[in-house]
Structure 1
Amino acid sequence: TVREFEARWERKLWLSCLAVESWAFRERRARQQRGEVERTTGEGVVVTEQEVFAEGRRRREMAALKRELYGGGVGVEGKLAGDPEWDDVVPVVLEEPEGALAAIAYPAEYAEAMAYLRAVMQAKEYSPRCLRLTEHIIAMNPAHYTVWLYRASIVFALQLPIPDEIAWLNGVALANLKNYQIWHHRHLLVENYFPTIAGDPDAIAAFAASERDFLRQILAEDTKNYHVWSYRSYLVGKLGLFGSAEELQAIEAMIDDDVRNNSAWSHRFFLVFSNPAHATPGVAATEPDPKVPQAVVDREVAYAEDKIRLAPQNQSGWNYLRGVLVKGGRKLATVEEFASEFVTGLGQGDGGEDVLSTHALDLLAEIYAEKGDKEMADLSLRRLGQKWDRIRVGYWEWRRKCLETPA
């Protein structure tokens, strides 16, 4: 209609006016960069913060008018294109091949940000605005590993305080629990930061305490997060926390809270039996280590037994107990009396037989086999398949056949 045409013409006219004002701003800033002076006062040209703010608002209005009049476009009317700070950057727009079989429909804001990221990465620019750009992209796609690597390069190039970056990273990690790139970035930060505190035991202790506090927070959200536990193992080795009473107490608290937390049990085993103070280099976790003090083995056997009594059918404690015996070079028979606490009246039928833990009966079968008592070993395995763990009857029958095979 005529009215719609007039309204559109008015918007186009207003857009032209804004474009002239925007051109005047860019020209004035160019004069400032060239060091020119004002013609009326003779003083140097200065672009004020108010003028920059007004230009940003002007560009947003222009972008809205362009979208209304002509439609949008990546890297032309977006958030960054409307920011005077990015005027000197020509975005590198990703162009999909014509007829691409699986073209990705990126959101316009993300596509624009990536276009600017490609440009600054090609220019090898490491600046505060690039750091802010990575934060902007990470907020949209926290799994973009290239952005994380570029962010680390910026942090190191600008020599920014690592604790500040870690503090920012904590919030991102809590919001993205299953993200691996976050923990790789944290690893790189610690590698860069540690040499600066390596000679200061107090600084190491303070950093370890702050990391332990954060790990407590994130594990409270996801107690068995593989990335977090992997990082925790790395941190123990990097900061030399094998002998840390605080680290051991923290893990004991987690096991007390959930005795079935296999991740916490695994970390305790690493903490105790990978300690350089009493671990032979090169000895695998599943191999005996004569360097481990028997007092440590006694302590860990007692610890495992105490926790098993709390939840006899929890496999974590039994696996830990087996691992401790292997490390200490002890036979399984050394815990026969303990395992027998959970099995009574074996072979006496349903009326007299009681098994509180199938793991205990499984261990007893191995103990009997170790002692050469194949009859009791066979009985233990048979009752597991017939009564106490029937869902795995095929496995227990296979174990029985193994008794007949010479070792």
Structure 2
Amino acid sequence: MVGQLSVHGIKRSRITPQAAEAKKLKEQSKIEAYLALEADVLGRKRSKDHTTDSLGQTTKLLDLNPEFYTIWNFRRNILLTLFPTLISDEVVAHLTSDLRLTTSYLLVHPKVYWIWNHRKWCLESVPDGPGESVKWKEEFWKGELKLVEKMLDADSRNFHAWDYRRYVLASLPVQRPLTDELKYTQSKIESNFSNFSAWHCRTKTLAAIWEKEQTPEAEIRRTKDQEFELVTQALWTDPNDQSGWLYHRWLVGSEPPLEVLNREIKNIKDLYEVEPDSKWCINALAHYTLLLGQDQSTTQVDKAKLRKEAHDLYRRLEDVDPDRKNRYQEMGM
């Protein structure tokens, strides 16, 4: 019998001792069934039982625990044993089935590396030859990018999905323009400035464009100026988020033009006046101040002054971020 308790006016069910015992027994039964299944599959693995029956057992176990990487390895060994006995279309059917399986798992466990890894293995195992395999390859890749975009729509900061997106883009039969990827990363960044993976992908995409097109330095500088405008929006929106600051440092680089460095230092000083406790703001200002002091055109007097400014900023960081006090002491020496 289930009674009713009222806490702050909210009714709450009270489970009887009999019902609690029944629930306990049910959970215990589930645990025992799982352990029995695990023992069976691991026993098959040890005895190298690479049969379709073993394949089915791995599916049952992975349904319960898709993070069990040992079972994914065993599953691949089973499939590799079966494939030589099958025609191409049958191999494709198996791989298609596993791709559907991983899709269902990813919807629930989108950050489990082993699921993404098995999906890649499936794609790389598609045979070349007659039948439906060639057509399947072409059609699948058209939809694969849509799949990962749906995953990123659900969680735009899932770095596993971003890694997989780069893999898909590199594997497309017909390569997409790199400018399309720039537009995609910008849309993700503008919807969430703290999307570290999107910022990181943007660095890789821009670098790839410049290398592929052998972009002149003057054009790179013009593009970077536009990027500074984008990242400045992020820094002012949330100065305590690391993502934008890392991208900003990438844009500045190790040997920036003097006018760029002075401009960005001024902009960050403006932000520092508004956000005096932002550790990333102080950190960037200290780093760029030291960078300015390394410029060949800087006089010895100015270099000493800039080192003093940077030292004071690192002392300020010791107060703002005491957990990293020792690190800042070393950086400010």
- TM exceeding 0.5: yes
Could you tell me which residue of structure 2 aligns to residue 193 of structure 1? 126
Task: Tell whether 2:181 aligns with 1:254.
Answer: no
Equivalent AA in structure 2 for residue 131 of structure 1: L
Structure 1 counterpart SS, 2:125: helix
Could you tell me which residue of structure 2 aligns to residue 159 of structure 1? 91
1:266-293 Cα offsets, whole Å, 9 max, x none, are: 12222332469539xxxxxxxxxxx554
Q: 5 Å matches for 1:7-406?
A: 107-112=32-37, 114-115=39-40, 118-119=43-44, 122=47, 124-127=49-52, 129-155=53-79, 157=83, 158-161=90-93, 162-193=95-126, 207-239=140-172, 243-274=177-208, 278=212, 293-294=216-217, 295-312=219-236, 313=239, 314-326=241-253, 330-331=256-257, 333-344=259-270, 357-358=281-282, 361-371=285-295, 372=298, 373-374=302-303, 375-383=305-313, 385-386=315-316, 390-391=320-321, 395-401=327-333
TM-score, with structure 2 as normaliser: 0.65
Equivalent AA in structure 1 for residue 91 of structure 2: Q
Paired with 2:292 and 2:137, the residues of 1 have a C-alpha distance of 53
1:151-182 Cα offsets, whole Å, 9 max, x none, are: 33455625033444323311111212332211
Structure 1 residues 116 and 378, CA, compared in 2 at 3 Å: closer, same or farther?
Answer: closer
Structure 1 counterpart SS, 2:205: helix
Paired with 2:175 and 2:275, the residues of 1 have a C-alpha distance of 40
Contact 1:365 1:381 in 2 (8 A): no
Paired with 1:169 and 1:389, the residues of 2 have a C-alpha distance of 48
Structure 1 residues 363 and 110, CA, compared in 2 at 3 Å: closer, same or farther?
Answer: same
Compare CA radii of gyration and give the structure with the larger one: 1
Paired with 2:116 and 2:159, the residues of 1 have a C-alpha distance of 11
Paired with 2:166 and 2:321, the residues of 1 have a C-alpha distance of 36
Count of aligned pairs: 277
Larger RCO: Structure 1 or Structure 2 (Cα < 8 Å, ≥ 6 residues apart)? 2
Contact 1:297 1:324 in 2 (8 A): no
1:333-355 Cα offsets, whole Å, 9 max, x none, are: 52421331232599xxxxxx656
Paired with 1:345 and 1:216, the residues of 2 have a C-alpha distance of 34
Contact 2:182 2:205 in 1 (8 A): yes
TM-score, with structure 1 as normaliser: 0.55
Paired with 1:106 and 1:388, the residues of 2 have a C-alpha distance of 50
Contact 1:369 1:377 in 2 (8 A): yes
> Please, which moves more after superposition, 237-246 or 310-319?
237-246
* Alignment root-mean-square deviation, CA: 4.1
> Identity over aligned residues, as a percent?
20
> Hey, which of these two has a bigger chunk of helix by percent?
2
Paired with 2:329 and 2:67, the residues of 1 have a C-alpha distance of 47
